[in-house]
Amino acid sequence: MVESIEKPRDKYKFEEKNSNKEKNVANMLISGRGDDLFTCSRCGTCLSICPVYRQTLDEGCAPRGKLSLIEAVANGKIPFTEKVSQRLYTCTMCNYCTKECPSGVKVDELFRAVRSDLVDSKKYPEILDLLKDRIKKAYNVTFDTNQGRLDWLKQIPDININEYVKDTAEVVYFVGCVSSFSPRSFVIPRAITQVLKGAGVDFTLLGEDEWCCGFPLLSSGMTAQAQFLAEHNIEMVRKKGAKILITSCPSCYHTWVHEYPDFKSDAGDGSGDGAGYSAGDFKIMHISQYLLELIKNKKIKLNSINTNRINVCQVNENRIDKNQKNIKVTYHDPCDLGRNSGIIDEPREVIKSIPGVDLLELQNKKLQSNCCGGGGNLESLNPQLAAKIAEAKASEIISTGAEILVSACQQCERTLSNALKKKKSQVDYKIKVMDISELVLESITSSVE
């Protein structure tokens, strides 16, 4: 019932054997997490912010409802059922609930732990097996072999791969699976490499040696299966002798900074300060942070953006103030970058460094940014729901009156582009969606008129 738009899908794998795993959850009551379950006062604060609840109005999918289900399992009231499993995976993992919970319940940690139990007891969406197998065989989330990692680069005429993949370099750029394999995201690594080259940065890509960071597995509760990815990636970056690792994908960043230190194999003490990989000798930065450094160190020069060139806002002449010179930009904080990694100011500073740009903030911004709907594998499990969440975000974007939506995540950009297209009848102009690196590249290459 109650889930007209999120019916259980056939993809749910389910073995009806009575697993001992329920006992594991019950043990949480003793081992410390039970406090968290008990601490939830059912106040309902999470309902008002949970993107899934706001679109479904289904209590069972709200954080409060999920916690009550976990508690019911832990207390032996119900076993892990398909419905419980489905509920637990109906989540974008945006983590807004954890940050806003008045009682300080660590919702994210609880969900992760329970998802892991669901995986152990083989009660998880079947599509995750597909994902796991792909990553295990090809080291990426797509159907392609990992040899295609640099297709986005090789397709550029007259490119000299050796300038991009070197034996050693000061900076390693970790492209991420989506930007490497999804043609519509190719603009991001192309923009980043062009900016880095222009700024004279000594950088390299990992090419085929870049493997999936493991985020999709970790967020699904398949922690053990992600171990080999972490070990491999750390080793590859070390081999390059790099001082800095850059990611453009916020989830890769989050994984490198917050997850990899937990893999104890050859990792150190896990005492990272959040700014870099604790066991390594290199610093981890998101591209928005690195771009800001380049700007501050005057390694790149920013010009006013030539709006004609990027085809912005020229549809309805009437809506544009004739005296308006500045271009209106709004910024969407990706969950894994803003709320979950605290990188909030840097992307804004980058945008504001560009001459002739007005930054208009969204109603919900920074730590309160609403999710685009593209997180937590929800898009694979329940595309209609993910799309509804994205459309709600699109409405918020439209109401800013911005001409350009900038984000710093290939996934947010894709979901929001699609959602804005669906809403195009509501606006009389086209909102251009750009990655922060694209915007910077436009600014560098725009000639002053």
Radius of gyration of the chain (CA): 22
For residue 81, the minimal CB distance to other proteins (Å) is: 6
- The 8-class DSSP code of residue 136 comes to H
The strand pair at 244-247 and 357-360 is best described as unpaired
Alpha helix ranges (H) inside 339-428: 345-353, 378-381, 383-398, 410-422
Residue 2 or 159: which CB sits closer to other proteins? Answer: 2
Interaction between residue 1 and other proteins (CB under 8 A): yes
Residue 56 or 289: which CB sits closer to other proteins? Answer: 56
Pick from 23, 31, 76, 78: which binds other proteins (CB under 8 A)? Answer: 78
For residue 1, the minimal CB distance to other proteins (Å) is: 3
d(CA 42, CA 48): 12
Interaction between residue 41 and other proteins (CB under 8 A): yes
Residue 72 or 315: which CB sits closer to other proteins? Answer: 72
Interaction between residue 26 and other proteins (CB under 8 A): no
| Amino acid sitting at position 329 | V
Residue with tokens 């139990």: 117
Pick from 12, 52, 60, 440: which binds other proteins (CB under 8 A)? Answer: 60
d(CA 258, CA 254): 6
Interaction between residue 194 and other proteins (CB under 8 A): no
Instruction: Choose one: 61-69, 137-145, 308-316, 332-340; the region binding other proteins (CB under 8 A).
Output: 61-69
Write out the H or E segment, with its range, that includes residue 98: helix 96-100
Interaction between residue 81 and other proteins (CB under 8 A): yes
Q: Retrieve residue 390's tokens.
A: 């994205």
d(CA 274, CA 258): 7
Interaction between residue 83 and other proteins (CB under 8 A): yes
d(CA 114, CA 28): 10
Interaction between residue 14 and other proteins (CB under 8 A): no
Interaction between residue 65 and other proteins (CB under 8 A): yes
Size of the site for other proteins (CB under 8 A): 30
Interaction between residue 147 and other proteins (CB under 8 A): no
d(CA 131, CA 142): 8
d(CA 187, CA 440): 12
One character per residue 92-131, x = contact with other proteins (rule: CB under 8 A): ----------xxx---------------------------
Sheet of strand 244-247: strand arrangement:
203-205, 171-174, 244-247, 283-286
For residue 364, the minimal CB distance to other proteins (Å) is: 12
Instruction: Choose one: 52-60, 110-118, 304-312, 373-381; the region binding other proteins (CB under 8 A).
Output: 52-60
Residue with tokens 């690792």: 245
Residues near other proteins, by CB under 8 A:
1-4, 35, 38-39, 41-45, 47-48, 57, 59-60, 65, 68-69, 72, 77-78, 81, 83-84, 87, 102-104
